[in-house]
Structures are given as structure tokens and as C-alpha cells.
Amino acid sequence: MKPHDVATHALSRRGLILGSAALLAGCTRIGGGQAGRPTKTGSAEPTPPPTPALYRAPAGDALPAFKEAAGRFAQGLATYDPSDSTPLPTPPGEYLGVAEELASAAAPLVMSDHWSRADVEFVQYGGLTPVSAQATSGVALIVLRQVLQNRRGDALVVRRTLDVRLRQRGGIWRVEALASAGGTELERPAQLAVPAQQVLDDSRIDLTDSARWDIYSGQISPNLLRVMLRLADVTPLRTTVLKTGHPERVVDGRTSPPVSAHWRGQAVDIHSLGGVPIADAAASVIRSVVETAGADKDVSQVGAPPGFDLDAGGRRGFTNLVHADHLHIAVRRTT
């Protein structure tokens, strides 16, 4: 076996699980009822969860092979059975990184003695170098829906945002690192600031569990949360990421890139409007959201698909290929 192969046959799954028991709390259970409690089916021999189809990039995407390599890699990491002797099955394609580092980074996805199945809800560009269809490296942000089920049939769903790094070699996109598995579970605090409560409980704003944990931990700017509520008045939003699962620094080929507003808790990426992916959304809806964001004095950045520049090359608005599939909204720092 080659040293860079992702399959870590010499490693024990149990030795790589970091606090997996905590994952049972605070996540969505299958079948309704109180969130954070696994569903008890009563089946002596439960049927394993179904295996979703392999991810396929949407038609018309500029770099479909990039997105498919990332999405299928993530599915491979989070697809395993209770009887598996290794924590990480081999994802499609060749992994360019160090297997032991991958095993450590992916530990939040691994729960011993469980079935795990993964579906990719969305793959978003998180950065490209260079920022063009000729990119040779990049970051994919993946909204991953993971179903975990034990031998009793108890099941839960966790939705995470993963940060996957890729590089093109020989015309083929390959993963070189899992930079984030989407964080670790946090309990919802009994007391939260009003904007945090409102965003968390607003059915118009879809958040991954990774984003919810960011809000629980108090890392997200109240101004950003208020802006999200105003945008939801225009149309329902599906978000990719707040902080966890986003690169610390902007990925665009610069030698000394700035720290991302996401890492300061001041930005949100939105991948769907009114249930429709940004790439397919009506121009009028995109324009309305962009203009609503631009009219807010707290908003400092509006990244959008080409053709939807907020201020035609001004200081706040920008468009490029990276933002062809989402809106990036950032707010100013608060003193």
C-alpha cells in the first residue's frame, strides 16, 4: 500500500474516536420528537440506513470535476458499517495527504459500532488559485448530511460543513487535506442573546449543525445575525457556513492573504434562495437580496455571482468565479 493511500488499515477506529459519545446530543433525530435524542425503533435486527447516490456536480458548473472529487471524498469518509475494522474507508480517487493526519481530522465523523451514511447537500467554492476555470488548487466547502445508526436501530442526523483542500495533478482533481470536519457538538445554552435566538429558531434560515454550534459558542457577530434576519424577510435562505468549516484566510492566490471575515464571526455564505440554488435562482431574487444587503449600513462586503455586483467595482461589492454559486455577506467589525 502506498504511504499516501487514505485507507488506514493499520489504525484502529476506536483509537481515533475523539469524544464520539457527545455526538449523540444536540443533533436531529430521525422520526421527529425531541432533538438530540436518538430514535428507538425496537427492531432486533435493524436495517442499515440506505446508501445515497454518489454526488454529481450540477449541470453547467465551471469546474464539475473539482466539486465531484470533493463531494465523493466526503461521502467516502462518512460511509462505514459497524463491522468495519478501519475508521476511514478509501474514498474514490487517490489521496495526496498523510493518512494519519486525515484520520485525526476526520475523527468527528467517526462513531464506533455504528452504520454511517452520507449525502452531499451542496458543494460550494471556498477559494481557487488562480480564481478562474484554469485553477490548479482550491477549497471546497461541503454541506454533508450524515446519518448514524447503531445496532439497536437508534439513529440521528448530523449536518456539517467540511473544508476540503484539492489540487489538480495530471488533469485530475485530488484531495490533499481535510482542513475541517465541521467542528464538535455543543449543547444549546439556556440563555442566548435575542438575535441568536431569533436566527436559530427562524424556519426561513437553514443552518448546518456546524453553524448552530458557532452561534451557541457566541462566536458570531450580533450584527451579522440581524442582517441574516433582514435578508430572510426577502426570501428563505440556505446557508453553507458561518465560521467553522471555512478557511482561516482568503484563498485566491495572494502571497499574504487576509484573514477571512468568517473567522472573525462576521460573514455568512448563502447557497440557496427560496429553496433554489444561487446558480439557478431568478435574477430578480438575487438582485433583491444583494440590494437589501447593500442598503444595510452594517454590511461591509457583498460577494455575488458575475452580473450582480453591488456597486460596480466599488469598495463593498465584488463578483468572481468563486462566488458564482453563493452569496457572501460580511459585516463591519464592532468595537
Q: Which residue has 466526503 as its cell numbers?
A: 74
Return the pLDDT at 88: 62
Return the pLDDT at 11: 33
Summarised one tens digit per residue, pLDDT across range 123-155 is 999 999 999 999 999 999 999 999 999 999 999
DSSP 142-154: EEEEEEEEETT--
194-331: CATH topology is Muramoyl-pentapeptide Carboxypeptidase; domain 2 (3.30.1380)
In the chain, which residue ranges form alpha helices assigned H by DSSP? 64-77, 99-105, 194-201, 209-216, 222-232, 283-294
Low-confidence ranges of the chain (pLDDT < 70): 1-45, 85-94, 313, 335
> Is the pTM for the entire model greater than 0.95?
no
Query: Which amino acid makes up residue 322?
Result: V
Return the pLDDT at 255: 83
d(CA 198, CA 2): 50
Summarised one tens digit per residue, pLDDT across range 173-212 is 999 999 999 999 999 999 999 999 999 999 999 999 999 9
- Domains of the chain by residue range: 14-180, 194-331
Return the pLDDT at 19: 32
**Fold agreement between 14-180 and 194-331:** no
Return the pLDDT at 29: 43
- Calculate the CA 161 to chain-centre distance: 2
d(CA 51, CA 35): 23
14-180: CATH topology is Nuclear Transport Factor 2; Chain: A, (3.10.450)
